[in-house]
Amino acid sequence: MSLETDTTLQKSLDAIDRIRKRIYITGWIVVAVTIGMYARFAYLQRTTDDLERLLSAAVSALTFLIVWAAFAVIMCIMRMTRRILRAIELSSRALR
């Protein structure tokens, strides 16, 4: 039973690490795109009077800002999940 628990915990920790790497890469791409979208929006505000282009740029920038916030929430959840799994692993080792 204890060996199965250790194996399951280790598999879970490895899965969290793999997902975390993908989330980091995707998240930093989203951060860069968000900054680019706000720069585009600021540029369009100064150079155009086309309301449709301005609204499109504003909506795009806000959408990526929401995704950026979701990235931050996901990172917090993943950190807590990893801490909980490590605590379980440490407590199971202490009981042996």
Instruction: Confirm whether pTM is higher than 0.75.
Output: no
Work out the percent of the chain whose per-residue pLDDT is above 90: 42
Q: What's the structural domain count of the chain?
A: 1
How much is the pLDDT for 19?
Answer: 87
**In whole angstroms, what separates CA 61 from the centre of its chain?**
17
Length of the chain (residues):
96
| Domain housing 10 | 2-95
Contact predicate 1/92, CB 8 Å: no
Model pLDDT, residue 47: 92
**Residue 1 pLDDT > 50, yes or no?**
no
Let me know: does 77 contact 16? Beta carbons within 8 Å: no
pLDDT digits (tens, 9 = 90+) for 9-53: 788 888 888 888 888 899 889 989 999 999 999 999 999 889 999
| Contact between residue 96 and residue 66 where contact means Cβ atoms under 8 Å apart | no
